[in-house]
Structure 1
Amino acid sequence: MVAAIAPHGSGIPDTSQIRSYLAHGMAVRHSNLDSSLYYNQQALRLARRLGFKTGEARAQVAVANDLYNAGKFVAAGQAYEAAVWLAQRTRLCDVAGKAYNGMGLVGQALGNVQGAIAYFNKARQVYAACLPIHPRNEALLLTNIGNTYIQSGQFAEAEKPLRQAMAGVTAAVDAPTVLNLLDLVGLLQQHQQHLDSAVVTWQRELALANQVGNRRAQSYATANLSTACLQRGQPDAALAYAQQAMRLARQLGNQSQITDNTLVLARALHATRRPGAFDTLSRYVGMLNALVGQTSAEAVAQAQARFNVEGQQARIRALEQQRRIAELENAHRTARNRLLLGGAVLASLLLGLAGLNFHRRRQQRREEKLRSQLAADLHDDVGTLLSQIALQTDLLQEGLAPPDAQQGYLAEVADNSRMAVRQLNDVVWNLDAHNDTVPNLLDRLRDYAHDVLVPTGRDVRFETDVPWENPQLPAPVRRHLYFIYKEALHNILKHAPASATVTVGLHRRGPHLVLEVVNDGPVSSAVAPERNSGHGLRNMQTRAQAMGGSATATAREGAFAVRVQVPVRW
């Protein structure tokens, strides 16, 4: 329930009313997100009505924070951009720093690692120029940089910023930053197979969260401890932590956190052989489907926003052309020049209208193509996995799976769920025009290889030309190369031994971009060059030919190599 605030005209000055709204929003941001958004939106409306730019800037970034916490990433990104503009006009460096940090968080949520790191570093620059300097701002941004690296699987890169953040802040100065930092350090220790250290870190996080009453941190810490207890063979402790995490997530009303904790609870119930495990897992699958649909809608909205910007730029160009024509008319006063000018104006307008109409039709075709591509990718990449998850959970729920195979089925459900999220991230990455560069493609290739090869024990190495003189890359080329690369790694997972070393090369060779994936393990007869009629190799060749290039698969010196060469206008 939203608490009552004195109405406008009650004797409280208007600027004080704005500050009161913002204070109430801050007070309930962790316990009641809807109320926080309501208060901050009220502050923003009142500040705009009064022309109070300082209050508007602070309210704008507060609204953006609430939208981000609600998972509305596209709307949050637009709100953060508006906050940056307002902060620059009012010279509020602290608001600008918060807005750039928020834009980094949005980039992180949408899988744009390079963009997120760039925004976080921009926020660090802004905060460094603010007086007085607050070390906790630097610690917060270093924490976010470390989190971005962890989420992208770059664990070695995450250590340095997290260590710097731990050294720069204390719980007495900024408890929320320390709580977030402890959560991430525990995750990093878990990924590095230091499970005992991770448990100690999360217990410190839980103790501090209990001390300061931070339910969000309590939920994260208990969920992580539940997972750790399962890994350590302590199912009863895992169940207690999982139940506590679920209660906290429901109190917060964070749907994403509720979904994650539902899976943790299902695993704990299964480990303790409780009858509610299958029903809980079924609820998790339904929640996951809803989150996938929401993320898909966000991707479409983001693409639509880019089209709207392009259309707006076209209208601005048309208005500029009309202004120039009007100036030309005023400069020529004679009858003959008026006659000639009238013909020129008419011709220009006709050409302008024809060009604008052509542009609109082309934009419509591009949008339809984008939507069709998005629908196809979601159906092919994510739909199949979700169908498998539904089938597996049905088998478990109906008791058709042998008792000794149920744990394996649950593991498959978890693996398929993670794979569905990864595939969805691929779809969003393919849509984002900010990724149309060679460095972004290279980052994505690294992320995918470390995600699918390294956990299987296979070593992966990258060779590339650094720096790139012209990093721009057409979107179709980027998309086709990435799918060819995934196909090549899929073949390696199927046919190469676990001891294989995979070398990935991305080079510029004259007017061509060359992608090469070499596996130094023994060549399996299933993928030998003389049998290159398989669907995988045919798909690679078809995609390469669509770009005007070529794809080959050859065995050489005990290794198996896939080489793709495509023309690129540098």
Structure 2
Amino acid sequence: MKNIFTFAFIMFAGFVHAQNTAVDSLIKVLEKQKEDTDKVNTLNELSNRLTFGDSSDYVKAQAYLQQSFALAENLHFKNGIAQATKLSGMMLYYWKADYAGAAEKLLTAIKIFEETGYKEKLADCYAFLGDTYSFYNIPESLKSLYKALNIYETLGLKKKAAQILSAIAMTYADRENFTEAIKYCNREIEVYKEIDSKSGLALSYTDLGDIYFNQANYDEALKMHQQALAMIRETGDSATNVNIFMAYLGIGNAYEQLGEVSLAAGNKKTADEQFAEALKNYFVIQKVFTNIKQPTNQWWIAHTSIPVAEIYTQSKQYQLARKYLQTGLQLSLGFKEYPMLRDAYKNLAGIDSAEGNFQKAFEDYKLYIAYRDSVNNDATDKKFQYEKMQYEFDKKQDSVKAVIEKREAMTAAELKNQKLIRNVSIAGATAFVGLSSFSFYRYRRRKKLQSEKEMLNERLRISRELHDDIGSTLGSISIYSEVAKNRSEKNENANEAIVKIGNASRELIEKMSDIVWSINPNNEGFGQLQNRVDAFAAMLLTPGNIHYNIITDEDVKHIQFSAEEIKNIYLIFKETLHNIVKHAACKKVMIRFSKHKDVFDMVIADDGKGFKSTTQNDGTLGGNGLKNMQKRAEQMNAVLKIVSSPEDGTKIQLSLEI
């Protein structure tokens, strides 16, 4: 398990601790200040420290931020408004994990800082926006980070530039582009050497350790993290410096994975020693943060509890493992850490299975599959959601801008009637806000009712599928189990029944995986469908030496399907490939996804022996598999055509109006 700490926390939290002015001192300064721009800056700084500092307090931070907004707007202090807007975005990010909401606030702050020309604050916004995007939109994340880097380098702010280089390096590492990751990491090291920053170099070695870890080079990863820890200690930094705990976490992760490698090689003694070293480093972090109930500290507890549980599971200390898993699960849900939730439920499934609680193991395994698929597909879906939300936001901003420009034009033309125009504008704005609020309320109400109806329909659909598909398979497993038991008691050969149990179990897992995948809201883009199609085609056709070619038109990649459509398209695809393998005796298969005007087409053609097609005559389909395909097409108002003739192959075309 590898967890890379976010750039945002390092940049905006780690260095807050090093500053000298305490919250109490700022409050005293605030009491003596007049209602001017200096007070706005003090209020913003208080909010910043109460968000990221040692004395973090969301309620107080928000209260100071509201005061800052009110005073800045009264003074028409744009930089103060922009800074407060940025801080409100940081709060959404840090306290509520609302990354899309945080991005919206940061984009607003960026527009203001661009107008005022406050370059450093503009770069800070781009830096934080880059980290915010990293949770769901990697291309936009890199764009924002590059903008921040360019500004910092132009201003000669080398320390901040190095921090951005670190963020870019780790973004590439997360995408497994290790060549670019190492390139930017080396640039980061050069900058820290230039400014003679040992703490910065320690952070660079931590970055290199993370990159080596992602490459599964655990020995080098361990060396880098140990070097980082030694360098931090040389600097004499505080024992609670965030970089120290990043090094401890990296060392623990490396030892844990080395233990896994040793165990797989059959060297249990070495594995036990490496697991013990991993626990030692994890417990250093646990000891410091267990009793401090702050979001940053709880993050550390979450990111060490699950690996500790994994090690205890290896040694069959299941009670201890459960204890740490429960802690890790609870905190991971709060942070929306899906990779950790995935690992935790996989571990729980293993423990339940080892203890003979197969029903619970199956439930945990389903959750593991759901979070695994969520981790794989979350970025694409969130990107679509953000682009939709950003479009609505921009449209709203353009509307407001148009109203303002119209009002200014009227003011210039009728200067003598300024008072009257102002009153009319205020009344119009009030009516506009009132109407917008009422419309927004009705829209939300309508969407809520629609969502509840869709949820009910979805629950009914899932219930039917679980009853029909899963229930029948479980029933067959139960019957085969009785047969195997009876034959075993009579000293007869039970292998046939056992094989059938195994086949039915694998079929059950496949069906459950399909159901979980189809109901996952992150899987409504064509990209997720294509990933699953590619994997299934490779798995089914390659072993039979069937050459296949998948062609996807560019326009198709931007289509968003409903959950019902994505499920039926995929299951029709699966059924078609199963029929090809079982009956076609073909050598080649062509699969094409295309879009013509408002129609999505999926065409699957083989060069096999074909059959006498009835679709050309009466539009009906023979065979249960073909009938099921027709039924699924009808469920989404699509048209399914099958054209085949003996010795001339088969072509299946699904057409869906979108």
TM-score (norm 2): 0.53
Q: Residues 170-569 of structure 1: matches in 2 within 5 Å?
A: 170=189, 171=192, 186-208=209-231, 212=237, 213-214=241-242, 217-218=246-247, 220-222=249-251, 224-225=253-254, 227-232=256-261, 233=263, 234=271, 235-247=275-287, 250=290, 251=292, 253-254=295-296, 255-274=298-317, 275-288=319-332, 364-370=445-451, 372-373=453-454, 426-427=520-521, 430=524, 441=525, 443-445=527-529, 463-466=551-554, 468=555, 473=559, 475=560, 477=561, 482-484=566-568, 487=571, 505-509=592-596, 512-515=599-602, 531-532=624-625, 537=629, 541-542=633-634, 545-546=636-637, 548-550=638-640, 564-568=654-658
1:95 correspondence with 2:118: no
Shift in Å at residue 90 of structure 1?
1.6
Cα separation, partners in 2 of 1:285 and 1:127, compared to 1, 3 Å: closer
Cα separation, partners in 2 of 1:541 and 1:184, compared to 1, 3 Å: farther
Query: Hey, what does 1:124 align to over in structure 2?
Result: 146
Query: Hey, what does 1:84 align to over in structure 2?
Result: 110
Structure 1 alignment gaps of length 5 or more = 331-353, 386-414, 431-440, 521-528
Distance 1:46 1:203 in 2: 44
| Cα pair 2:593 2:603 within 8 Å, conserved | yes
Cα separation, partners in 2 of 1:28 and 1:304, compared to 1, 3 Å: same
Structure of greater relative contact order (alpha carbons < 8 Å, 6+ residues apart)? 1
**Could you tell which deviates more after superposition, 13-22 or 186-195?**
13-22
Q: Residue 166 of structure 1 is aligned with which of 171, 185, 193?
A: 185
| Cα pair 1:18 1:43 within 8 Å, conserved | no
Question: Alignment partner of 2:155: what SS?
Answer: coil
Cα separation, partners in 2 of 1:141 and 1:3, compared to 1, 3 Å: closer
Deviation by residue 1:66-115 (Cα, 9 ceiling, x = unmatched): 43233232442232123213212322233333323433433332x3x3xx
| Cα pair 1:504 1:516 within 8 Å, conserved | yes
Question: Alignment partner of 2:223: what SS?
Answer: helix
| Cα pair 2:553 2:594 within 8 Å, conserved | yes
Cα separation, partners in 2 of 1:306 and 1:122, compared to 1, 3 Å: closer
Shift in Å at residue 8 of structure 1?
5.4
| Cα pair 1:378 1:427 within 8 Å, conserved | no
> CA RMSD for the aligned pairs?
6.3
* AA at the equivalent of 1:236: A
| Cα pair 1:183 1:202 within 8 Å, conserved | yes
Cα separation, partners in 2 of 1:303 and 1:86, compared to 1, 3 Å: closer
* AA at the equivalent of 2:121: V
| Cα pair 1:142 1:161 within 8 Å, conserved | no
Shift in Å at residue 193 of structure 1?
3.5
**Could you tell which deviates more after superposition, 311-320 or 52-61?**
311-320
Query: Hey, what does 2:357 align to over in structure 1?
Result: none
Q: Residue 68 of structure 1 is aligned with which of 86, 90, 93?
A: 93
Cα separation, partners in 2 of 1:282 and 1:463, compared to 1, 3 Å: same
Among all aligned residue pairs of Structure 1 and Structure 2, give the percentage whose two residues are the same amino acid: 10
Deviation by residue 1:408-452 (Cα, 9 ceiling, x = unmatched): xxxxxxx99xx99x969952575xxxxxxxxxx455456667999
Distance 2:461 2:169 in 1: 33
Shift in Å at residue 132 of structure 1?
2.0
Which structure has the bigger radius of gyration?
2
1:54 correspondence with 2:79: yes
1:7 correspondence with 2:28: yes
* AA at the equivalent of 1:132: L
**Could you tell which deviates more after superposition, 445-454 or 229-238?**
445-454
Shift in Å at residue 283 of structure 1?
3.7
Distance 2:623 2:32 in 1: 86
| Cα pair 2:126 2:147 within 8 Å, conserved | no
TM-score (norm 1): 0.60
* AA at the equivalent of 2:92: L
Distance 1:359 1:482 in 2: 30
Cα separation, partners in 2 of 1:23 and 1:293, compared to 1, 3 Å: closer
The number of equivalent residue pairs is 477
Shift in Å at residue 240 of structure 1?
1.8
**Could you tell which deviates more after superposition, 247-256 or 177-186?**
177-186
